[in-house]
Amino acid sequence: MTPEPEQSAGGRADQLIELARAQGFARVGVCDAAPSEYAEQLRAWLAGGRQGSMAYLERNTQIRTKPGELLEGTRSFLIVADQYATRNDPPDPRPEPKQEAGRARGRIARYARGRDYHKLMKKRLHALCERAREMYPDAAFRAFVDTAPVPERELAARAAIGWTGKHTLIIHPRLGSYLLLGGVATTLELAEPETQKPIDDHCGSCSRCIDACPTDAITPYSVDASRCISYLTIERRARIDPAFYLRIGDWIFGCDICQEVCPHNSPRPPSVGAGQANEAYAPVRDGFDLLEVLAWDEQARRDAFRGASLKRATLAMIRRNAAIAAGNALANADLPELRARLEAIGADAGEDEMVRQTALDVLASLGA
């Protein structure tokens, strides 16, 4: 394949944006590789221990604050967003036609209800990089989705994908915040197209996400990860402080509350439009039966999580989360089988210690 004729920085950006659009991304933009404007805040956030046990955030501070160091000679980023749900989708709780009487379910965050976004986004970004390398053989390209230590949300705001809400997630004025971010670092210089206008902060005096957060994790434009249910259920590998149990409700993987209450995720008339979710993310599950999760072994967990973005939760973590959600279900309903399962776990000396202790803490909180 012969390289394309030489292009200006603007022409190169247009070409890459076109390639990304052809891959079906809902939003695409470019930005430079300047150091983070929030380096001091990140250091203060880390110094305050708000990262909980996510030690990897400390290890990669250098790249998080200087994203240009992700790939030697990085000059620009192409940032993309996939829409996994729309603001017109039905709100939770969704009808659970298959739910049996006397059973309780644990809920998972919307982004994890369809296929694994890491795989879906990386495959298309890698295809984009391959084509870009053919066009610019002297340039380097590196795709990333979640796993690279770059400040994705800051880059997304710079690339006009949306603005950073008070809950720290990216919001697009029309599409809302059910967006998954990824991108490509490149040694090419890309200029922002004239049509790429910065998106202003539309949070204004709103504080709905702050008021609705069950664990008081949000202060404007900052989330204390060590209090956030998403962190507690997906990242924390040790016991969860029982003070959070009640607040965790029925969430066993993630939490969507701050997004659900946001006015920029509220339904809009079809004439205005709310974008279209990528069909690949069509929900295949809303959650799991708690009795089943509490009985899972490693194979059952693998089977249940196959093809989904749920793998960060180990067997012990998801069963710990299910034990907490089971306690909250038992506080509201008489579910003898579920209570018996928790009691069996608490009495089993061969159990995973974190799961056993959580079951005992839950039973104690129920006055058992």
d(CA 161, CA 29): 6
Count CB atoms within 10 A of the CB of residue 71. Answer: 21
**In whole angstroms, how close is the CB of 259 to ligand SF4 at the nearest point?**
7
The residue among 111 and 288 lying less far from ligand SF4, judged by its C-beta, is: 111
In the block, tokens 């434009």 appear at 221
Count CB atoms within 10 A of the CB of residue 37. Answer: 12
Stretch that binds ligand SF4, among 114-122, 207-215, 288-296, 314-322 (CB under 6 A): 207-215
Please select the residue that binds ligand SF4; options are 167, 301, 319, 320, rule is CB under 6 A: 167
- Give the H or E element holding residue 39: helix 39-47
3-state secondary structure of 152: helix
Please select the residue that binds ligand SF4; options are 67, 106, 165, 346, rule is CB under 6 A: 165
* 218 contributes a contact to ligand SF4 by CB under 6 A: yes
Site string for ligand SF4, 35-74 (x = CB under 6 A): ----------------------------------------
Residue among 14, 32, 89, 146 flagged as catalytic: 146
The residue among 95 and 204 lying less far from ligand SF4, judged by its C-beta, is: 204
d(CA 233, CA 55): 16
The residue among 8 and 219 lying less far from ligand SF4, judged by its C-beta, is: 219
Cα–Cα distance list, 315 to 30, 67, 105, 238, 312 (Å) = 39, 34, 17, 12, 10
* 172 contributes a contact to ligand SF4 by CB under 6 A: no
* 330 contributes a contact to ligand SF4 by CB under 6 A: no
For residue 26, give both structure tokens: 């809902």
Is 146 one of the catalytic residues?
yes
The secondary structure of residue 91, as a DSSP letter, is P
Please select the residue that binds ligand SF4; options are 255, 316, 324, 359, rule is CB under 6 A: 255
CA quadruple 230, 232, 235, 238: dihedral, nearest 10: -170
Binding site for ligand SF4 (CB under 6 A): 165-167, 203, 206-209, 213-215, 217-218, 223, 228-230, 255, 257-258, 261-264
Active site residues: 146
